[in-house]
Amino acid sequence: MGDRRGKVYLVGAGLGGIDYLTLRAQQLLSHAEVLIYDALVDPQLLQLVPNDCLKLDVGKRGGLSSTPQKEINQLLVDYCLQGKQVIRLKSGDPLIFGRANPEMEALQVAGCDFELVPGISSALGAPLLAGIPLTDKDFSRCFVTLSAHEPELLDWEAISRIDTLVILMGGRLLGEIVQRLQENGRSPGEPIAIIRNGGRREQQVWIGTLADIVDRTAGISLSPAVIVIGEVVNLRKMTDSPSLPLAGKTALVTRSAEQSSNFTHLLQAQGATVIEMPALEIRPPSSWEALDSAIARLCEFDWLILTSANGVEYFFKRLETKGLDARALAGIKIAVVGKKTSAILKQYGVKPDFIPPNFVADSLVENFPDAIANKKILFPRVETGGREVLVKELTDRGAEVLEVAAYQSACPDKIAPQAWEALQQKRVNIITFASSKTVRHFCQLIEKALDTNSTVTLQELLKDTCIASIGPQTSRDCYELLGRVDVEAKEFTLDGLTNAIAQWSQNVKN
């Protein structure tokens, strides 16, 4: 390991989420060992790195505390010299106001390999997504991009003569910017656009003139913003696509970190801003003894029942550990609950013999294709909680059921900071629950967080927030612990839950 050569990638994150990330950047993130990122990087990009990747937030947002640049330089050098694949993730493009030069110099001095990976700069992407052309044959033959971070160092007389101005980091200094431009000859009636959160779902645009824009935006936090000044603002084309059902809504996803990405993408495709709050941690069981014993005598069982994707994956991984594969299941029939469980099973080259209707375990017994009496059934399952009804009904009908722990689903130690902040600030419109355990763990995490800030109750925190459940069993826990369910999926799948939430949102709008 000591001979392995590290490398640092200075990567542009673009101006928003995954939609505007380059393929090269996505590829590198998927193999990162150390991620050093700025505060303006979209949080969903952090989900692209491996679970064991070390993630370091170094700030770099105007007006807030940040890691000193020398310390960032040293972090890059240290981890590279340890043989790590290091991603330095910067908002926009790494070489446009990204302070990449001192980092490259430090890497060169230390003899570290590095590579530059471009990203879409907000200076170009934000105006485009707001429908504002930066050049035009009649109104703008040139434009300049500048940082307003230190306005006293800029030549405002020269700047004022350029057709179109694109100003970054100027939200807090808007009053000074428009004053300096008018003092140097720009007309008070010249159009100006302020684009906040360009390229994101929550993008907002304010249009005005140099004379009135300060009043139009009084009391509004404009950061992070791109400011466009010039006649091209009047050429703005309204290019917004038809409103998606969940546009303007923020959804909290409470699945495990390993399972949340697919559901996140489904919700984002409907226009939602998604915040992930892992409420499950999937781990190996506390002991493999029971499962190993069952695997050693697989030939004794008539049926294998698998009720979750986790159950499938941990069962087959354990088969592999014991030197076996799907051929060890010859002669055993397999029942699965849910489309996702069936799809995961097929990845191992096995087709289920039975999938109950409605995709719920409770309907498995009444629709079972064989006589159950005297059948020996192996049921690899989560170590604690759930499926008691299924086992009881199978046993009551004369089956001999062997339950073995295949995995654990534990509650994380603490709530994800981004999720807690959004809940406290009442920015969450929808909370999604895809299992009973996520409901229970969600309540545990919230109650633990409230212990340190008990000015509000759980009910007050979730007031006016839609509670969405994947099915009847999950809904029972919602009613018990949260007092209500606002949306329940008709088809008990993630697609079904997404559709139900989208329909709810449409009804609210209407």
Residues with active-site annotation: 38, 60, 169
DSSP annotation of 161 reads T
Q: Identify the bridge partners of residue 56 per DSSP, sorted by sequence position.
A: 36
DSSP annotation of 303 reads E
Pair of tokens at residue 262: 């697919």
CB 436 within 8 A of CB 476: yes
Q: Can you tell me whether residue 439 is helix, strand or coil? A: helix
DSSP annotation of 233 reads G
Whole-Å CA distances, 161 to 155, 174, 378? 11, 19, 79
* Phi then psi dihedrals of residue 13, to 5 deg: -85, -5
Q: Can you tell me whether residue 8 is helix, strand or coil? A: strand
Cα end-to-end span (Å), the chain: 61
Q: Can you tell me whether residue 166 is helix, strand or coil? A: strand
In angstroms, rounded to a whole number, what is the distance separating the alpha carbons of residues 259 and 109?
42
In angstroms, rounded to a whole number, what is the distance separating the alpha carbons of residues 368 and 76?
59
Sheet strands (E) in 22-158: 34-37, 54-57, 85-90, 113-117, 143-147
> How many Cβ atoms are within 10 Å of 206's Cβ, its own excluded?
16
Q: Which residues contact 340 (CB under 8 A, 6 or more apart)?
A: 309, 493, 494
